Structure 1
């Protein structure tokens, strides 16, 4: 017989941990249902927890929290509905915005926190942070001028093609078909040849995928108004950044490979340090709203 907490028990579960709030995040090796998560099951570790913990600490959260990584987007969305309906209290969900950015399905509550862009990767794997991470991994005094130019070109090139990729993602998903979000970005990368995403491979993928949707296909959303680096699939942005880092390191120090997990943690640490020094207006507002509630 499985144990199931009542809404009252869930709302008071923070007292068991001696904290003010329970914060549910996505991420982790295993996915749990909302019922399992609210009954106490969760991953012991998640990079999403590291990200949101950094955001809270950097922007002065005045409450003690306990993080629980549930892995599943479905679970976090179900918990959000319970928060919105007032069924449970003293519970926070911190989650990726995903394409809800365009679909106007975000829930306006101080207890439901969304990333600024598609996901936390869009905040972390930016050009400046990519460049700073490379600087930490090389033994020369500075990035050579030509390679520094290559970094700029890789991100500038993505801005040009990213608008189309974003529009295509919305078109495909309007018909229930995943586009880039179904495969990630590694297949479009070749750090041995270029720091940029491979346009040829992208075009081949588009040609193959377009048979999966009904024509004519379109979206009413004007994607040209949005920055693709912020709004495109976060894993694709991460793969772009990692491709740039790998390419440059091979050129400078002949690194055979740098583990992606190590780069990910280093990038996240540098990002958290940067927001600690400067504050981010978007996340500052989220934390301020949370600080203001009882």
Structure 2
């Protein structure tokens, strides 16, 4: 990969090897199927989505693209870049929310996974329970997101949310976030956020516009949703279990089935792809 990467000419004709019109470079293997769904649904040309082996490698591609030495498209997680005003190059397309999980995960995909994996009849789908859980989860997460954004914008380097929700759950067997644990964590986090700074972050997110849930880190969101899905399936059909890999695959399939004009993020990705500069 390194030798091939350092060949500028090779990179700019690699799409021909795949009989594609455009190369789309992504960070890792989980990103490939997500961006394939997005581009295959919205682009009027054929793309080849290729993972480059991690964030450090992707940074090299971004640098080459910014310098005009690389043709193609880079598709990656937004992280907090939109809050920093760093979205300048239209050929770097970023996720609507923090990561691909924020687009993959929504009430309809969660319920489809529960129904298909749990082999659950339509009348037993926990729609109301999911609504209550999501409402409570996003409400409790708001303060964590504010502190996570403040930490990122000020370069404090403290782990706020992390990749796993377990330490914030009411118990090892629970799928509910514990408000007391969240408040205790914030009280001992090592930095404070003034009311004025909180208001600034709230206004910043509101002006984009985005919801606070869009800035929950992707792996953290996935870990929390996996807890809810597993608990829901076990309650109705205790014989069924699901691994994280299988859950991701099921969410991806549900997302592919749901990705149309009714999806909350559809227009964002549609506009982003329309704005790409694709060489003839």
Do both share a fold (TM > 0.5)? yes
Instruction: Provide the residue aligned with 2:224 in structure 1.
Output: 240
For the residues of structure 1 that align with 2:193 and 2:236, how far apart are their CA atoms?
47
Counterparts in 2 of 1:192 and 1:182: CA distance versus 1, 3 Å: closer
DSSP 3-state at the match of 1:22:
strand
Counterpart among 64, 80, 87 of residue 82 in structure 1? 64
Q: Tell me if the contact between 1:191 and 1:243 (Cα under 8 Å) persists in the aligned partners.
A: no
The CA distance in 2 between the partners of 1:81 and 1:3, in whole Å, is: 17
- Are the structure 2 counterparts of residues 12 and 156 from structure 1 closer, same or farther at C-alpha, using a change threshold of 3 Å? same
Structure-1 separation of matches of 2:107 and 2:193: 36
Give yes or no for contact 2:22–2:278 (8 Å, CA) kept in 1: no
Post-superposition CA distance 1:34-80 (Å, at most 9, x none):
xxxxxxxxxxxx12100000111122x23333222124223323322
The equivalent of 1:92 in structure 2 is 73
RMSD in angstroms over aligned alpha carbons?
2.9
Once the two structures are superposed, residues 135-177 of structure 1 have per-residue CA deviations (whole angstroms, 9 ceiling, x without a partner) of 22334423548x4332111100122122211110022222332
Mapped to 2, the partners of 1:94 and 1:133 lie a distance apart of 26
Is the alpha carbon distance of 1:275 and 1:293 closer, same or farther for their aligned partners in structure 2, counting shifts above 3 Å? farther
In structure 1, the residue matched to 2:271 is 285
User: What is the correspondence of 1:30-109 to structure 2 with a 5 Å cutoff?
Assistant: 46-59=29-42, 61-89=43-71, 91-109=72-90
Q: Identify unmatched segments of 5+ residues in structure 1.
A: 28-45
Evaluate the alpha carbon distance shift between residue 132 and residue 118 of structure 1 in structure 2; reply closer, same or farther with a 3 A threshold: same
Give the number of equivalent residue pairs: 269
SS in 1 for 2:44: coil
Contact 2:26 2:76 in 1 (8 A): yes
The CA deviation at 1:204 is 3.7
Question: Which residue of 1 is the match for residue 104 of structure 2?
Answer: 124
1:91-120 deviation per Cα after TM superposition (whole angstroms, max 9, x unaligned): 2111000111211111332x2111111111
Listed as ranges, the gaps of 5+ residues in structure 2 are none
Check conservation: 1:154, 1:197, Cα contact below 8 A: no
Shift of 1:3: 4.0
Report the TM-score when normalising by structure 1. Answer: 0.79
Residue matched to 2:22: 21
**Which secondary structure state, in structure 1, belongs to the residue aligned with residue 122 of structure 2?**
coil
Q: 1:126 Cα deviation (Å)?
A: 1.4
Instruction: Give the Cα–Cα distance (whole angstroms) in 1 for the partners of residues 182 and 240 of structure 2.
Output: 25
Cα separation, 1, equivalents of 2:171 and 2:47: 41
* Residues 143 and 78 of structure 1, relative CA distance in 2, 3 Å threshold: farther
Determine if contact 2:147/2:193 at 8 Å carries over to the other structure: no
